[in-house]
Amino acid sequence: MLEIGRRFELAGRAAAAGRVELAAFEVGELGELVDDDLPRAELPKEGPTADLAGKADAFARAVVPDLLGAAKGREPGAFAAAFARTAAACNDCHQASGHGFVEVPSVPGKPVPAMDPVGAQP
């Protein structure tokens, strides 16, 4: 999961810097990790245990391809929109699994997970 976060951060930073090929590469690597890592994410022993397998599946089949398509399209506005949709899906699963404190920023170019001081403007 840590490496998924790292790839997502790098994809966003690359896109923010106009490095579109690098952004697409990082999203591709992220997609490979999602297939390998997400099924192994450590789920809470108690508390909220919503349908995480279903969320993982939807993430791999819909969210990652959406982001990859946007990265390959090389249109910054479309990439930023897909990045925000992806971050929302990341955060949805974190909340559902009791890890809502792992906040994924919705804007490309920021650290993943969010490390802004609590109370600062996002």
Write out the residues near ligand HEC by the rule CB under 6 A. Answer: 1-2, 4-5, 8, 38, 41-43, 52, 55-56, 59, 86, 89-90, 93-94, 97, 99, 102, 104, 112-113
How many residues are listed for the chain in this entry?
Answer: 122
Minimum separation from the CB atom of position 79 to ligand HEC (A)? 14
Minimum separation from the CB atom of position 64 to ligand HEC (A)? 8
Q: Which residue is nearest to ligand HEC (CB)?
A: 5
Q: Which amino acid is at 15?
A: A
CA–CA gap between residue 83 and residue 60 (Å, rounded)? 15
CA–CA gap between residue 104 and residue 122 (Å, rounded)? 11
Q: Which amino acid is at 91?
A: N
Minimum separation from the CB atom of position 74 to ligand HEC (A)? 20
Residue closer to ligand HEC, measured from CB, 31 or 73: 31
Residue closer to ligand HEC, measured from CB, 108 or 113: 113
CB 104 within 8 A of CB 87: yes
